[in-house]
Each structure stands twice: as C-alpha cells, then as structure tokens.
Structure 1
Amino acid sequence: MTDAARDLASFLTVSPSPYHAVAEAVRRLTAAGFVEQPADGPWVEGAGGRYLVRDGTILAWSQPATPGERPLRVFAAHTDSPGFKVKPNPDVGTAGWRQAGVEVYGGALWNSWLDRDLGLAGRLALYDGRVVPVRVDRPLLRIPQLAIHLDRGVNQGLTLDPQRHLLPVWGLGDARDGDLLEFLAGSAGVDPSEVAAHDLFTYDLTPPATLGRDDELLAAPRLDNLASVHAGVGALIAAAERDPGTVPVFVGFDHEEIGSDSATGAAGPLLETVLTRLAGGFDARQPVFARSRCLSVDVTHAAHPNHLDKHDPDHLSVPNRGPSLKVNAIQRYATDAPGAAAWKRACRTAEVPNQVFVSRNTVPCGSTVGPIMATRLGIRTVDVGIPVLSMHSARELCGVHDPALLSRAGVEFLSDPQ
C-alpha cells in the first residue's frame, strides 16, 4: 500500500460518520497550526489557517492579512455516505428477535449491506444542550438475508422492501424493553434519561485492505466521498504552507447524498457566508468571485469490466491512471472548457496523469455539489474525482495510487493564481 493509501485507510477507519470525519479533519488541521473560527463567535482577524465546524460540515481556509485582495480557490467534497440511519424510536422486533428500526440514507446499494457485521456511530443530543459523539466499534448489528431454500428464485432477481427486509437484528429478547438507546448512552458514558435525540448510522466493520496480485487496489467503505475529503484536507495544508497568492479553501459538506438541501449542505448559506467575508464583504465580492474557482471533488465511475455496455467507450476511467475530469452536456457536472483547462494545468504542473469521464448517452449520470455551488455562488466550478468500482456499496474499490495523485493536483489547483 502506498503511504497516501495507507493514510486514507486510517482516515476511513476513524470516520464512520460525518461527525467523526469532521473530528478527524479538525485533528489534522490543528496539528498543522490551524485554529478554530467559532460558528457563533466574532471573526478571527489576522493571517493564518482557520477552520469552522457546523455539525457534519467543515470549512477550512488559509486567511490572508487583508481580505479581498486574492482570488479564492475552493476544494469541495462531502462527508456523508449512503447507508442506513436509525429512526427516532429504534426498538422494533418480532418472533423473539430484537431489531433496530432504520431508514435508508441516500442511494445505497441495499444488497451490499446484507450479512455484514455492522457497528453504529453518530451523535447523541442531550437535554442540557451537549452533543456527545458515540461509536460502537464491534459487531452489533446484522441485516440477515433470507436463505436460498426459502427464496429459490433469488439468483434470478432479489427484491427488497426497505420497511420489512432491511431491519438489522441486534440480539434476542423482547423488543418492548426499549434499550438500544440505553445501550448506546452507556457506551458513550452518559445518563440514558438525558438523551433527547440522536443521529446514528450503521457502518461496515470490515477494515480497508489492498487486493490484487500487486496490491494495486484498495477495498474500503465510504470511499464515496471520504477519499475526496482526505485529499482535500491534505491539499489545503500543503497549499497553505506555500502562501501561494490565492486564498485556498476546503469544504466538506454534509447531506450531499440526500440532495444538499440543508443548513449544512451545499445548497445552504455556509460557504457563501465565509467566502463573502474572505472576499472583503458583500459589496466587494463580485470582482473576487469572478477571479475565483471551485473544484467539486467526488468519486467517479471506474469502467466496470463486467458491464462495459454501461460506459461510453471513448471516455473510460481506470484506477491508478489519475483523477478524472467529469463532463456533462446538461451541467449535471459543472465543468466547462475554461474550468477544464485550469484543472488540466494543475495536473500538468503537479505531473499528475488525468482522464476524462463522460456518461454513456443512454445512461443518465448522477450529480455533485458542483452545479449547486456554481448556481449559488456564480463561481466557475470544475467537477473531478478518482475512479471507483461499486459506488454506493457498503464496500467500494479504488486504485492505491489515485489518492496521492488527487491530492497533488489539488495542491496545484488551490495554489494557481492564474
């Protein structure tokens, strides 16, 4: 495993929820000398690295002494991943089984979560206003698949009802005992009676690992999109050390997988508020925004060897050949020609190979935070990402060299004053 892939594996392991990913990003930024900009406090004046946390979203930037003099360069990713979120009243079950009530979060590949050992992670909100992180890092839950003897046609087509078939079991007994939250509160060291609400997610406990004859591939959970968060934090730290003549910014948004329409999503006001301040205020921001650029970084589809009919044959993305520029004629990706040129210039400066991804005409593509940022800010935005297989699975696959290549190109994008 390369050093960058090994570091990414460590990042993924300690980041089973958006809140944990933000905490790890804060730890790394703090070690690099960044200081907190409180979300509810006055602006911290003076030059230096800053970070701002709001729930599962983090913003970080290298602040110049005088605002408004430098173009902004933004590296944007998202901290959330598809999976299952625990319902407010979690204790369900039948036939002597205790189960957890969950609902689908984002566009998860449901079948990939079956028969896996799952943990729980997230946060508990207490009546006194405190928010306490929680993580059960051992096999606690399992979504059991029906035996083939009871579903003889399963290999010809699996149909799952998310209300009935995706409830994980977590033990035996009477579901009316209502003790999942009590168990979680105990693991977090808080009084169960003080827990008012929660944000809890299941996560796969299988650790990241390399595979292939030459260990050239990395199998891991949450590559979408913590691989980009990891690269962005590293790129910001490296760019800040250069004092490049730009204002390098990193943002990891929450809620991308469910549409970004939230106070802490890309459609919310948080990034615009901070960038406006960095540009010198609302009245001064237009010329700064006109010289600025955003990089929307989210994983892209690697060419699937068993399903090549789902890909455009002239725009295939392959692991370990560098990040892909993502292009779409109807702006599901925000890339345009000048933005593409800026990205390719960054790759050339960093000596990073790069590819171009375009969806097959008969297969509509997904989207990213890129078009949302471009629409909200009016800043030229480019969409890129490293290729992965099994996107939105409980466990995805990428090349071991691509994380480092993405971060290297990201440093040059954040540092490019042109």
Structure 2
Amino acid sequence: MTAPARPRTSEQLIRAEEPVLAHNYHPLPVVVARAEGSWVEDVEGNRYLDMLAGYSALNFGHRHPALVEAAHRQLDRLTLTSRAFHNDRLAEFAERLAALTGLDMVLPMNTGAEAVESGIKVARKWAYDVKGVPEGRATIVVAAENFHGRTTTIVGFSTDETARAGFGPFTPGFKVVPYNDLAALEAAVDDTTAAVLIEPIQGEAGVIVPDDGYLAGVRELTRRAGCLFVADEIQSGLGRTGRTLAVEHEDVLPDVLLLGKALGGGIVPVSAVVGRREVLGVLRPGEHGSTFGGNPLAAAVGTAVVELLETGEFQRRAAELGVLLRDGLTDLTGRGVTGFRARGLWAGVDVDPALGTGREISERLMREGVLVKDTHGSTIRLAPPLTITAEELRSALGALEKVLV
C-alpha cells in the first residue's frame, strides 16, 4: 500500500495540525521551515523579517554561530545527567550568571513559568524560615495586568480573564495592586508579605514602561518592609532594553531575579532563579528540583549566552537601535499610530482601532514580509533580535507605515 503523501505547502501543513494539535494558540498563517539571523523562511521559500524574536527568546537572532557551536560541542560530549550527579558545565554557568547579575546564587530551571513557580516557593520558604511569618500565612503582592506564565498558580493571580476562566480553584496567598502605583503597593504590604513580584516592564500587557522612580521606590519600600523584591526579567532581561537587566535603568538590584527565554539562546529551554545567598540558601535537598534543570547542554548554551552579554555589545546595539525605533514610531504617531511605549529594542504600539485590530495589523504586516504579534485590542508588540541591522529595522518601520498610512 502506498503511504499517503505528506503535506508540503503551508496551507496543507496548517490543515494537518488542526485535528491533532490542541488549540491553545492562534498563530499567524505562516509555516517557518528555516531561519538565520533576523530572517525566517517558510516552506514555499518566502522570507520574513522576524520582529518578534520568540517573545525575546531569540535576542541573539536565529542560530547565532557562537551558540550553535556551543550546542554542537556539548552534544558530542554529554547532554543529560539529572541533578542526581554533578556535571562539568554547571558550576561555570552558575558562577558567570551570578556575576553578570550582581547576585550570589543560581537555581537552574527550564522554562519561564518554572522560574516564577520556583521564585514563589523560595519567597514563601524565606518568609517562614527567615522573616518569621506564621506557617501558611505568607502573601505575595503582584501587579494587575501581569504576565508571569500560565500554570494554575500563576493564572490564579492574573487579571486576564482569558487566562483565568475555567481553571480554578486557585492558590491563595496573592494580593493584586495596580501597576506603577507605589501608594497602592505600600498599602498592600504587611507583616505577612514574603515578596513583591513584578515585571520591571510589563510585556504581554503592551510593553508598559513604569514611571521613572517606580522601580527604585519598590526597592526602597520592600527594604523598609522587610520583604523581598522579586523581579521577573524573563522578557525584559538579557539585553532587550539596552541594559543587561531592565532594573539597571534605575540602578536597582532586586533580592531575586527570574530569568529565561533569551538565556537559552533560542536553542534549548533555560531559565534560572538568581538571588542573594540568604534567600536561595533556604532550600535544602528534596525541597525543590527538576530533572532537566541545569543539564549539561543547557548549561553550555547558557554559558555561551552569558559570554555574549559580558561583551556589552548587544546591550549597546539595543540602546542605539532603540533610538531609531523610537524615532520611527514617533514619526508614525498621528498617522495610524495613536501611541507607543518603548525601551531599547522593545515597543508596544497602539494602532488606531479604525484601521484594524492588532491581529489584523499583524496579518497585513505578514503579507509585507514582516512578522509581529498582537497583544490586546489594537496593540502590537515589536521585539526584533538584537542582531537586527539599522537597514532591516528601517525596512520593518517602512512596512508598518505602508499598512497604516
């Protein structure tokens, strides 16, 4: 019997997914087959400029040579031991990541949501063991419109009903306050507060950049209240905003950093909780773990990512090209763009709703050879690889102008 022909075209492949893949995503109708740098190519050979970069997982572009080489070298030696044994790559990764962030200890995990869940556990354990909060009473203060992942604990303190509806009952112990509101935050903090968990810039909400002084205010407030400042830099960190970390724009060092996405270089999932020794030091064997967390392949790629960031090149590129991005969006304001927020190579762009939803604008840009993604309503986000050239960035802005004006 002759085997059925395998689907080859984008349309055929998309149809083939429909009956066998859970419908938890609504991707744009492009089927990527190859990628290099800032560009992807679909199965028909059409090329697109990637202005999303895997939600910042591809900060260094697709298949960065140094990262691919590090992965190849490690694949020939050792990929996984589990944490039942030591491996020869993990110590260097942890040491260099801690030094890059200015903190002391590293808890390696895999995904961003795992890092957030781990940070929550560590904060609660610290509250009971160090702060002296009565067992079972610890609370964590979070911000409205947050996005920290999609596990049941995390969506329980989301204010996005699409993320929450149908997934309860939810884990107690969280207080939600408005973002960028120090007075509301101070009113919510009390003797039971283990930590304040916030994104220095809210990505999924539309790249919401807080007022100057907000992050410094959070740092001072948590210090006075005797609770932890946990910064979720999974999207904002590792060069995206023109600094290694977004908190560096206000010279702030949290007690705990949550990192992911770009830490895996677009090759393997790598995340980490990085913190002060007296915080991460509360964990004891058996209290937390991950079979794949800190595996040799992840540690090798993660170390290569840290090496790239240690040069400062990518932070400088994000800062310099960020000016070009901001100037281009300023020029489009009032010409289809009603407003935008940007920091480094990251922007949330509000489009006149009369011109279409964010999804519709994303589809029009796709037809112009540029890939972006909507957030909510008529807002799209731009987060190109930090390897993008000025010419490529101007081309993307030109495509946006074309679909709007």
- TM norm structure 1: 0.24
Query: If each structure's helix is expressed as a fraction of its own residues, which one has the higher value?
Result: 2
- TM norm structure 2: 0.25
